[in-house]
Structure 1
Amino acid sequence: MCFIGWLLCDIEPYEKYSWYSGIWHGLFLPINFIRSLIFDHVLYKATDHTTAYSVFYWIFGILSLLSFVFGNGRKE
């Protein structure tokens, strides 16, 4: 899982991110958060971003966390 987060969604500390990146980073929030606990240089949220980035980051981050926690159960 951490490899996928690094491969698809590595956050650079000195790059400014817009709303589209907020969606992408929000989707990978659980994976990047776990990576940030393991490695010191990993960010799970961009430091330089727009307001739209924050809005979409939190919307998709919450949806991603909810699906990560509650999405594993199957009804049979």
Structure 2
Amino acid sequence: MNEHSTVTVELGETNETRHLVEYDSERVRQVLGALPAGTTLPVRMTRVGSRSNVWRVTDLPGAPEPRESRVEP
């Protein structure tokens, strides 16, 4: 995930590239932001708009819960 909260993904079956730019929840955004490059994960998404290759993530079936970041005193 870049500094603009955009994730670029490749669909395994078609090698199509998509840009994930919106997330249905903060949890979904946190999970995607914490994944290392190269992770394979099912993603449910819908197109944002009609002419561009940008997508909204609606669900991450089977994704782990995001870890809370804790700062030690």
TM band (smaller chain): under 0.3
**Greater helix content:** 1
**Greater strand content:** 2
TM-score by length of 1: 0.22
TM-score by length of 2: 0.22
Name the structure, 1 or 2, with higher relative contact order (CA <8 Å, separation 6+): 1
